Amino acid sequence: MFRRRAKELVALVHGVQAELTVLREDIARRAVELDAVRGGLQALEDRLRGVDARVTHMTTAITNQLHELDSEIDRLAKTADAASAETVSELRANQVRIAGEQARYAIALRQDLAELAEMLRRARG
């Protein structure tokens, strides 16, 4: 009876060792997969930072151009005759509309970028 019990214990130990080997292999495989995912997330995060920098640059450039346009419209308004005053008024209205659209697009894009950054943060967590 004791020999049978010893054999059962040896078989049980071998079974546990086999399971541990399988689990270690699985952990190693998952670690490699996790490293690949982390690398992909890092690349995506880097790309997201680049997009954010480009958006900031473009927004600044557009804002500067709108200010320059404003100055030109002001100059034109001062020298305009009655016939072109209506055109100057239309230019001013269009400039305000473009500035508003640009601001809305920049805000929407920044919100999208913030959501992506949050998704990345959660994925890394």
Task: Assess contact for 109 and 48: CB atoms under 8 A.
Answer: no
CB-neighbour burial class of residue 60 (10 A; exposed 0-12, middle 13-18, buried 19+): exposed
Q: Which residues, 6+ apart, have CB-to-CB distance to 113 below 8 Å?
A: 48, 51, 52, 55
- pLDDT over 60 at 99, yes or no: yes
Mean pLDDT over 69-92 rounds to 78
pTM above 0.85, yes or no: no
The label of the residue with tokens 């490699």 reads: 32
**Bigger pLDDT: 32 or 43?**
32
State the average pLDDT over residues 41-66: 86
pLDDT at 121 exceeding the cut of 60:
yes
